[in-house]
Structures are given as C-alpha cells and as structure tokens.
Amino acid sequence: MSTYVVPDQNTCNYHPTSINGDNQTHQTDQHHQPSLHETLLATLPKNKGWRSENVFLYKGFWLSSEVIKGLMLIHNHFKPQPTDIFLAAFMKCGTTWLKALMFATANRHRYKFSDHPLLCTGPQSAFPFIDTHIFLDYPVTNFDHLPVPRLFATHFAHGLLPTSMLSTCKFVYVCRDPKDAFVSKWHFMSKLRSKELTPLEFSEAYELFCNGVSEYGPFWDHALGYWKASQESPDKILFLKYEDMKRSPEVELKKLAAFMGMAFTAEEEDEGVVEEIVKLCSFENLSGLTVNQGGGGGQKFTAKVVVENKDFFRKGEVGDWKNYLTEEMKHRIDMITRDKLKDSGLTLGLIK
Ligand code: PAP
C-alpha cells in the first residue's frame, strides 16, 4: 500500500531533541539534561497504567508517557491541511474497522476489490496513527508525502488537540458502548502489557476504568468532547456509533462517504460499490485474511512496541460484555454513563 510508506529522509528542519527524551545519545550521556517531555512528566499526577507501569494525568486525560511526547510533537510540528481527515476514537471503539472503510472509500477509484491492498496489508497499514507515528521517524515524521486527502487516526481527546487542527481538518469519531470498549480494552492491553509487570486483573482494570483511569480516559469525557463538538460543527465532526454500523453498515458508510466529500453516485450505488466496500471491510473478511492472522503484518507503536494485526481482531460483536460483567458491574457502568451523558443528547449502550 503506497499511502503509508514513510521515506527515510523525512525530518523537519527543526530538530526537536528538547522534546524527545529517549533518543540513543541520552542512554550514554552522563550529563543528561532532562528533555521538556521528562520535565513535564515529573510534574504530572501518576496512576497505574494498563500496558506500561504508569499513566499520567495531562489536561484531564490519562496518557502514557509515549503519547504525551507525541502530543507535544503534534502541537509543535504538525501542519494541518484543510483536506486532512482524522479518524478519532477512544481505544477499542472501531478504529480498525473505520480505517479500512475510510481507506477503501477514499481510494475506491484506484483499486479493484479483487486485488485490493487491504487484502494483503491489513487496515493498520492504511494510514498513520499519528499519536506515536509522529515520532517513529526520529526526530519527527513529516507526512507531506501522503496523498490528498491525508488520512490519520488518533485516540487523543478533542480538548487535547491543537485548535488549528480542530478548526482546519475534518474528524470522524466512532464510539461504542463503554462496557464493550472496556472488555475489549482489557483483553488488548493484557496482551501488550509489559512482561516485567504483574498482570492487570480484570477486577482491578474494572475499578480503574470506572474511575476514568485508563490510557486516553476517562472514556465518557472523551466521547462527550467529540459529541459536543459534533453538535456545534456537524460539517467538521461526524459522530458514529459502532452499534449503528453493525446494524446498518451500508447506511453508515454512505453517511461517512458524504461527510468525507466523496459521496457515492447513483451509478456507484446501482453497481453495488457500497456493498462491496462493506464486504471488504467486514470483520468476517478482514479477520480471516492471512495477514491478519499472524501473517506478518503489524503496527509499530514505538521503537519497542509492535502490535500484530491479529490482535486488532477479537470478536467484533455488540454486547460481549455480557460474558464478562456481573449484573452489579453492568449497572455501575450504566449509571456512570447515565450521569455523565445527562442532558447531552448522547446515548451510549442504550443509556441516555
Ligand atoms: P484500537 O483502539 O486498538 O485501534 P479498535 O480497532 O478501535 O482498536 O477496536 C478493536 C475492536 O474492534 C475489537 O473489538 P472486540 O474486542 O470487542 O472484538 C475488534 O474485534 C473489533 N473489530 C476489528 N475490526 C473490525 C471490523 N472490521 N468490524 C467490526 N469490528 C471490528
């Protein structure tokens, strides 16, 4: 897939060593000056992380050390273009699915469905996850080579992103019943959790989640930030729900394409293009591909963490929480959801 190949020499002129605290030279430097990133981390409240040891409370959201660095680089270096389209979501709410759908929609005139790049690379390679990709090509990644419209994914909360980005670019936000997001996240993070740490028990993760403490959380503040912005600027933010997409994928895909400025023509609809894209990007199709079953594909999050494609596919169902949460646990999340969403107009998992 040509869209996501980052050239070797693609750094900005400015050398942001003051932000990056973990480049190789620091390992051996006895007179190590703390970077801005390290200085900031030292001032932030800490709590238990799900993947790594700690998460840090930054402007109301719990973030890992790596993505705080990414956020600083985004603020300092990212140059938003009016044609850019961001896919935003809390973790485990549908990024993989939406990545496939957005990529297939944006490139539908370029590739045949029988020989589509998604069939051999997997959705993670379709476009960059900016939170960490911004620093994968040390010192900072330049995304100028990406085709227009540039597509990016992020898990950052609306309020954490630069206002220039929010006012310039379009955002597609996908949300999900927090109970399913929680169960999915616990499975995913347990796989990624550093082997040097003791496993994160389900009951402990549940407590942390309910208290808002998980990477990119609190879940509810995350959803509400994008929801409110989507109400104020529907032309800039499209708010989708995983459950609606499962129920009526064609309807939601048409909405998505129109929002992206790439509405399907009547001719395309007659030819079945909408159904073809839905089929290509379905859980059943994608999860069965060799590349998504441990066949070599993966997403590099940091220099040390690469997540295999297969880990982004688990059950792909609505309501799997029923297999994990007691009635009491379900009730508690539903009550938090009801309180947090009160008067917002947003419903999640049937809770207003
Ligand atoms: P991320 O936050 O790590 O990017 P994300 O893709 O948002 O993960 O979420 C993964 C969830 O979407 C998984 O849900 P589960 O654990 O409840 O099963 C995964 O199975 C599901 N998923 C992945 N691809 C698809 C798809 N094509 N259609 C529907 N669900 C999908």
| Tens digit of each residue's pLDDT (9 = 90 or more) over 210-235 | 999 999 999 999 999 999 999 999 99
Q: Which residue has the tokens 């399907």?
A: 264
pLDDT score for 24: 39
Q: How many angstroms separate the alpha carbon of residue 117 from the centre of ligand 1?
A: 19
Tens of pLDDT, residue by residue over 82-138, are 999 999 999 999 999 999 999 999 999 999 999 999 999 989 999 999 999 999 888
Long-range contacts, stretch 265-270, CB < 8 angstroms, 24+ apart: 268/108
Q: Which residue, among 71, 117, 61, 69, has the nearest Cα to 91 in the 3D structure?
A: 61
Atom 31 (ligand 1) nearest CA: 316
Cβ neighbour number for residue 65 with a 10 Å cutoff: 21
Q: From the alpha carbon of 99, which atom of ligand 1 is closest? A: 6
State percent of the chain over pLDDT 90. 82
Q: Is the pLDDT of residue 335 over 90?
A: yes
- In the chain, how many domains are there? 1
Residue 19 lies in a domain: no
Please state which of the ranges 48-57, 60-69, 176-185, 291-300 shows the lowest mean pLDDT: 291-300
Residue 352 lies in a domain: no
Residue 350 lies in a domain: no
Q: How many angstroms separate the alpha carbon of residue 297 from the centre of ligand 1?
A: 16
Tens of pLDDT, residue by residue over 274-320, are 999 999 999 999 999 999 998 677 888 877 788 999 999 999 999 99
**Ligand 1 probe mutation, 96, 177, 179, 305, most atoms within 8 A of CB:** 96
Q: Is the pLDDT of residue 31 over 90?
A: no
Atom 1 (ligand 1) nearest CA: 92
Average pLDDT across the chain, whole number? 91
Residues with CB under 6 A from ligand 1: 89, 91-97, 180, 184, 187-188, 281-283, 286, 312-316, 320
Q: pTM higher than 0.85 for the full model?
A: yes
Q: Is the pLDDT of residue 3 over 70?
A: no
Q: How many angstroms separate the alpha carbon of residue 116 from the centre of ligand 1?
A: 20
State percent of the chain over pLDDT 70. 91
Tell me how far CA of residue 141 lies from CA of 4, 20, 149, 167, 193, in angstroms: 12, 13, 18, 22, 26
**Count, residues in the chain:** 352
Strand order in the sheet with 46-48: 46-48, 54-58, 61-63
Give me the residues paired with residue 300 across strands.
Answer: 306
Tens of pLDDT, residue by residue over 126-166, are 999 999 999 988 889 999 999 999 999 999 999 999 999 99
Q: How far apart are CA 51 and CA 302, in angstroms?
A: 13
pLDDT score for 313: 97
Helix, coil or strand: residue 286? helix
Q: Which residue has the tokens 């459950």?
A: 243
pLDDT score for 122: 87
Q: How confident is the model at residue 13 (pLDDT cuts 50, 70, 90)?
A: very low
Q: Is the pLDDT of residue 60 over 80?
A: yes
Residue 183 lies in a domain: yes
What is the mean pLDDT of the segment spanning 229-249?
A: 98
219: containing domain = 44-341
pLDDT score for 30: 61
Q: How many angstroms separate the alpha carbon of residue 188 from the centre of ligand 1?
A: 10
Q: Which residue, among 146, 8, 140, has the nearest Cα to 72 in the 3D structure?
A: 140
Residue 21 lies in a domain: no
CATH number of the domain that residue 171 is part of: 3.40.50.300
Q: How confident is the model at residue 18 (pLDDT cuts 50, 70, 90)?
A: low
Residue 120 lies in a domain: yes
**By the 8 A CB rule, do 181 and 91 touch?**
yes
Residue 34 lies in a domain: no
Q: How confident is the model at residue 29 (pLDDT cuts 50, 70, 90)?
A: low
Residue 205 lies in a domain: yes
Q: From the alpha carbon of 320, which atom of ligand 1 is closest? A: 17
pLDDT score for 20: 57
